Amino acid sequence: MTNRLRLLQLSKLLDVTRLNDQDDALQMADWLQQLPQLPVPIAAYCVYPDYLPQLRQVIADARQPCALATVVNFPAGELPLTVVCQQISDALAAGATEIDCVMPYQALLRGDHQHVSQFLTEVRRCCGASCLKVIIESGELITAQQVARATEIAIDCGADFVKSSTGKVAVGITDEAARIMLTIIAAADRPVGFKASGGVRTIAQALQLIDLYEHITGITATSSTMRIGASALVSELAEQLAVD
C-alpha cells in the first residue's frame, strides 16, 4: 500500500476527540473551526455530552457524515449504574450515535468480575442498537491477565469495540496491551472492533498499530473494525496529504 493510501486509511479510522475539562462552548466552537479538513471523512468526533448538540450542528453544516460519540462513566469508571444509564439516555437523545463507556475497572482489580459483567450488560441494554465502546483503562490494570479478562468481559457483555484508555491516566495504549486485546478480539466468536487510545501521538505509531491490528486479526482495518483516538494527528495528516 502506498504511503498516501495508508495515510487516507488512517484518516478514516480517527475518532477526533476533545475532552478538556476546562472547555466552554466558545472554546469548543473555536476548536471545531480551527480543525484542518482532511480529504476523507473521519470515523467520529467524540466530545463531552454537553457539547453534543453543538457538534451535531457542525457535522450537519459540513455535510461530511461521521459518527457522533460521547463518554459516560468517565473517567474514573465509578459512577452508579443508574447514573450511567441516565447519561446514556440523555446522550442518545442529544444525538450521540456512539457511546464510549468506562468499565468499572476498580471492581475488576478487586476480582469482582460479576459486578463488572452485570454493569456492562445493563449498559449494553441501555445503548440499544447504538455502537458501544467499552474502555478497559488498560494502563491501570496491573497484569496481562487482567487486560485479557477485561477484554473478554467487554466482549461477552456485547461491546462493539474494546477501547484501551480514557487518556486521563498516566499510561495509555502500549504495545503489550494492544497485543493482548487484539489476541482476545481475534478469538471472539463475533466481530468486535478495537480502539487504540491514550498516547497515540505520531503518525508512525498509529500506522504501527494498524499493522499490528491487521497482522493479529487478519482483517483490514476500517472504521467498522478499528478506531484510533488521536486528535493530535489531524494537523500532521492534513499537511502530509496536501503534499502527497
3-243 adopts what CATH topology? TIM Barrel (3.20.20)
Active site residue 163: yes
pLDDT value at 62 more than 80: no
Burial 7-24 (b: 16+ CB within 10 A, else e): bbbbbbbbbbbbbeeebe
- Please say if 100 is a catalytic residue: yes
Amino acid at 38: L
Task: Report the pLDDT value the prediction gives residue 244, as an integer from 0 to 100.
Answer: 62
pLDDT tens digit string along 86-96? Answer: 999 999 999 99
pLDDT score of 35: 85
Give the neighbor-by-neighbor strand order of the sheet with 226-229. 15-18, 44-47, 67-72, 98-102, 131-135, 161-163, 193-197, 226-229
Which stretch of 33-37, 143-147, 173-177, 236-240 has the lowest confidence by average pLDDT?
Answer: 33-37
The residue with greater pLDDT, 35 or 148, is 148
At 60 the pLDDT is 82
Residue 59 half-sphere exposure toward CB, CA atoms < 13 A: 22
CA 130 – CA 73 distance, rounded (Å): 17
d(C-alpha 17, C-alpha 137), whole Å: 17
58/13 Cα distance (integer angstroms): 20
Single out the catalytic residue among 12, 133, 160, 163.
163
Q: Give the SS3 label for residue 78.
A: coil
Residues 12, 15, 100, 160: which is the catalytic one? 100
Least confident of 32-41, 55-64, 74-83: 55-64
C-alpha cell at 136: 478497559
Q: Give the model's pLDDT for residue 81.
A: 98
Is the pLDDT assigned to residue 61 strictly greater than 90? no
pLDDT band, very low/low/confident/very high, at 1 (cuts 50, 70, 90):
low
Cis peptide before 191 (omega within 30 of 0): no
pLDDT (0 to 100) of residue 53? 93
Sketch the domain layout of the chain as residue ranges.
3-243
Pure H helices in 128-190: 144-156, 175-186
Residue 6 has pLDDT above 90, yes or no: yes
Looking at residue 65, its pLDDT comes to: 84
Q: Residue 106 pLDDT more than 80? A: yes
**The pLDDT of residue 2 is above 80:** no
133 is catalytic: no
d(CA 44, CA 223): 9
User: What Å distances lie between residue 83 and 88, 110, 126, 188, 207, CA to CA?
Assistant: 9, 22, 12, 30, 37
Distances in Å between the Cα of 213 and the Cα atoms of 89, 95, 147, 183, 193 are 32, 30, 17, 9, 10
How many whole angstroms separate alpha carbon 132 and alpha carbon 121? 11
pLDDT tens-digit series, residues 174-227 = 999 999 999 999 999 999 999 999 999 999 999 999 999 999 999 999 999 999
